Structure 1
Amino acid sequence: MTETPVHIGTAVPLRRDNIDTDQLSPARFVPYFRPHGYANMLFADWRTDPEFVLNRPEYQGATVLVAGRDFGTGSSRESAVWALRSANFDVVIAGGFGDIFRANATTRGLWTIEVDQDVIEHLWGEVEADPWLPVRVDLAARRLAFGASERQFRIDEPLLRRLIEPGDQITETLVHVAAIEAFESRRTAR
């Protein structure tokens, strides 16, 4: 097992629920398949508002995005994850995630941390009061710490394992090659 990942960074309080993949990376910007160059596409429709939180100078350089309920729902658009990663986000904290988004995020090393709404609201308030407040995420301990608060978070065991020991479902399957080959050698031909 590799060393347990811990992320410490500042956060952006995105006070919105139901953020789907078309808001993260609008379809009109995704005519080709490549994992880089999507930072300017992230929330492109919302960024036209100068007051949008990602446009504000106090949140520049943040690596943690704190959103509301139902983040990354909608299509299986992998560019949504690429847009977040291209904008230097390493962690998204939300009240829930779309299943396909979460799987894509894990494959790309983007941490999806699920907490209760009261934790999100408390974190939003703390970050708005102090945009330079460090937010600490400890994967193995499943602990989120900010200011004087420390809270537990939810993450599925297979996703946690993939973040701690990077790989994907194919990598996990290849660990069992010897057992697969032994099984196949015992099977009768049809």
Structure 2
Amino acid sequence: MMVFSVSVPEGQLRSHITGGYKNIQPRNSRSDLACSQFISDLDVLDHFPFLIMINPMNNNWQKSTAVMNKNSTVVVELALRSETVVPLSIFCLKNLQRLAITYTPFPNGIVPDELSNLRQLTSLQITDAPIVKMTEQLGTLSNLNALFLYNSSLTHLPNLSGISRLIFLSIGHNRLSHLDGPNSVQHLYLGDNAFTEIPAWFT
């Protein structure tokens, strides 16, 4: 693990880099996820197999970042950028509200059922990360209002019609030909897929 602290103006959340446990191996099955081994959200981040900037002071940081709440007790935003793998332990961050994954693959290309742990998610973005299988649990994230699945080689998505708060839905540059979604969606992007018509639920 490496921790590097930098000074910030009084009253702001402390920024620092953590993570880097190179001996931590990605886990692939639900039985391997034991969130009880972590004492806090920060402990989860500490055990990531790569470095991550916590509470960045600006948006110029080009690698992975996490944002904690004002009390620094839970992680509310996480962005993984160009890492070797998505660690299964991210699904222990049960207060996460925004998750963005870019150029970072899931183990075996599978988005696992553990996604259902993230009940507080309002925004989920997976970009340029090949997905062989998307869990059916995606459709249970009832607080989502924005879902972006871009250029991920998707051929199937579960029924999303139960996500009644979903407003933004972008699934461009995949291999999809069918989609069940909620009529709450106001902005829909389907470009570069195999659709032959606009889904009836959106018209």
TM-score over 0.5 (shorter chain): no
Bigger proportion of residues as helix: 1
Give the alignment's TM-score, normalised by structure 1.
Answer: 0.34
The normalised TM-score by structure 2 is 0.33
Flag the structure with larger Rg: 1
Please state which structure has a larger fraction of its residues in strand: 2
